Amino acid sequence: MTKLSSGIALDELDPEVRPQDDLFRHVNGRWIERTEIPADKARYGSFLVLHEEAEQAVREIIEEAQRAEPGSEARKVGDLYASFMDEQHVELLGASPIAAQLVEVSLINSVESFLETLGRLERQGVSGFVQLYVDNDPGNPERYLVFVEQGGIGLPDESYFREERFAAVRTAYGTHLERMFALAKLDDAADRAVRVFDLETDLAKVHWNNVDTRDSEKTYNLYRWPDAAAAASVGLQIWRDAMGVPEGAFDELVLREPSFVEGLGKLLTAERLPAWKDWLAWQVIRSSAAYLSSDFVDANFDFYGRTLTGTPQLRERWKRGVSLVEGAMGEAVGRIYVERHFPPAAKEAMDDLVGNLVEAYRQSISALEWMGDETRARALEKLEKFTPKIGYPVKWRDYSSLAIRPDDLIGNVRATAEFEFNRELGKIGKPIDRDEWFMTPQTINAYYNPGFNEIVFPAAILQYPFFDASRDAAANYGAIGAVIGHEIGHGFDDQGSKYDGDGRLVDWWTDDDRAAFEDRTKALIAQYDVLRPAQLDGTEHGDDHHVNGALTIGENIGDLGGLAIAWKAYVLSLDGGEPPVIDGLTGAQRFFLSWAQAWQMKGRDEEVIRLLAIDPHSPNEFRCNQIVRNIDEFYGAFDVDDGDALWLHPSERVTIW
């Protein structure tokens, strides 16, 4: 019998940092100290190392596809990549691929013609003042609906337009707007930039903040089309018709932020038409900038890469080409990726892990002291209805209607945008496709979908440091087991817990149980609100940047429940036996060290600041350290006591699931 490894990189453990004081840096400190973030990245760590490996594997698949049979799906993949990689042709074209669209914008002479032009351009992939997507109806999960999400701004979110800590970013954005207008050879670039910035500032004032936009109940606002159009008090029918929306697709829709639509309508006036024309010209430029000549690409990266994320170097062209193909035809690539890189044994092992995690949740829910019998029965019913998807879809996406040419990059980008537009809106009126995946198999991530009540684990994440069949179970449960537990936990976080087992947004809780749940979530919010990344100490506005506990509460609940339940699942996997000591480490120590190993990450200051403002995930150091402070088994594993930095008094520890 082959001896299993501990799964822990022992030579990486830092003896100068005690796990009782900083588990994250005890495990990752040496790596952080010696590692330079690659020049083309804003952050680097375990997820991105795997991403690089997947990126190389995908590149090989795509380059081979350039020699595939003409007209085949594989050849479309190859031709799309070839059109991006023909840099000489792209440079020769300069700004000419967007010239016709800019002429269309220049001919706008009324609010009505603005809405008509905007609708036509959106179909080709130009950004609009709202974002549209299709999902199943939270009130009736057996049908699809169109969802309308606020949009129209070029900074990460509304806070960037109003908070003092982002003043320098606003100044840089104004400069960027002027630079891009000048590159497009539009006159009065400086005046145009001011008008666009002022208009977006007013748009941002009617945006909802990012805490409210993640509230499932606040954002579920069902409208008939006439009422939705009336909310904007302008002729949105013109916009809808110009997009070529299929019959019936907009009969009913969800306005996620109704007051934004009302505020938008008040800004769509004849007096502000010059600003809207400039804004639409900016959307044309911005939407195509990454696919134009190098002057546009470099300017676009200078702001959205260097300024916003601190990344010093543009990614190599082949990497950007791979990203284009992944976004446009990811499942066509994924089908080949799975054949080459996903062994059946990995899926079988994951089935066992998921089974133990679900059973651990069942046992935990059954024993919760704070939950009453009525709510408990509904929670267990929801758990029974969870659908796990592992590795890859059972049915692959059909790209037969997508036309690709090897010599027309912008044409291909627009064709893929229109293909996706038609595919999404084409769902309306059809049965729910529960086989659909919302990530490709080569994605290093996982997700929970409340409307489908499903947990999804793409093939590419099922490898070290998250999963390794050759190592002891403790390390696998501490890493991929906690990821599985995290995704199941989203079904019971502050928002997922509002959906029942069929994906319906309905209150299945008693008042007392919901109050007890919210008492625990408020305590967790308070824990995270005071956390500040140490790397920002001493930087300008360093004290202004801290974790937003309300924004990150869903992910924090997922982390807390995920790790706690993964521990219980690990114990279940032992079937009553004692875990062995391997490499001098107990099972509990290997479990928590593996958890920390999975969160290995290093980020640039600008990127850390950006993510603190908009990301529903806490920084990795806190996803590691703050979670274990709430897990009793961590204290036993490392003999943590009240003199240690990670000590949290038992009365302050939060246990939810």
Residue 606 corresponds to which tokens in the numbers above? 């600008």
CATH, domain range 96-291 = 1.10.1380.10
The C-alpha atoms of residue 376 and residue 355 are separated, in whole angstroms, by 20
Q: What is the pLDDT of residue 541?
A: 66
Mean pLDDT to the nearest integer, 94-120:
98
Give the pLDDT band of residue 198 (cuts 50, 70, 90): very high
Mean pLDDT to the nearest integer, 310-316:
98
The C-alpha atoms of residue 460 and residue 537 are separated, in whole angstroms, by 36
Which is nearest to 347 in space by CA: 486, 485, 467? 467
Are 101 and 126 within 8 A, CB to CB? yes
Give the lowest-confidence range in 138-152, 209-223, 456-470.
456-470
Q: What is the pLDDT of residues 351-400, one digit of tens each?
A: 899 999 999 999 999 999 999 999 999 999 999 999 999 999 999 999 99
Which residues are within 8 A (CB) of 535 and not within 5 positions of it... i.e. 6 or more apart?
A: 603, 605, 608
Give the pLDDT band of residue 578 (cuts 50, 70, 90): very high
Q: Using a pLDDT cut of 70, give the percent of the chain over it.
A: 99
Which pairing describes strands 601-603 and 43-45: parallel, antiparallel, or unpaired? antiparallel
Asked if residue 132 has pLDDT above 70, the reply is yes
The C-alpha atoms of residue 417 and residue 401 are separated, in whole angstroms, by 13
Neighbours of 256 (CB within 10 A): 22
Q: What is the pLDDT of residues 410-429, one digit of tens each?
A: 999 999 999 999 999 999 99
Q: 21-57+325-652: what fold?
A: Collagenase (Catalytic Domain) (3.40.390)
Asked if residue 645 has pLDDT above 50, the reply is yes
What's 619's DSSP letter? Answer: P
Give the pLDDT band of residue 543 (cuts 50, 70, 90): confident
What's 247's DSSP letter? Answer: T
Q: What is the pLDDT of residue 537?
A: 85
Give the pLDDT band of residue 247 (cuts 50, 70, 90): confident
Asked if residue 1 has pLDDT above 60, the reply is no
In the chain, where the domains are located: 21-57+325-652, 96-291
- At position 648, the amino acid (one-letter code) is L
* Model pTM score: 0.94
Q: Using a pLDDT cut of 90, give the percent of the chain over it.
A: 95
Asked if residue 246 has pLDDT above 50, the reply is yes
Which is nearest to 616 in space by CA: 531, 550, 533? 550
Q: What is the mean pLDDT of the chain?
A: 96
- At position 376, the amino acid (one-letter code) is R
Outline where 72-224 has alpha helix (H). Answer: 73-85, 87-93, 99-106, 111-123, 167-183, 189-205
Q: What is the pLDDT of residue 2?
A: 60
Q: What is the pLDDT of residue 544?
A: 82
Are 583 and 246 within 8 A, CB to CB? no
Which residues are within 8 A (CB) of 594 and not within 5 positions of it... i.e. 6 or more apart?
A: 7, 8, 465, 474, 475, 476, 477, 478, 479
Instruction: List the beta strands (DSSP E) in 323-429.
Output: 387-391
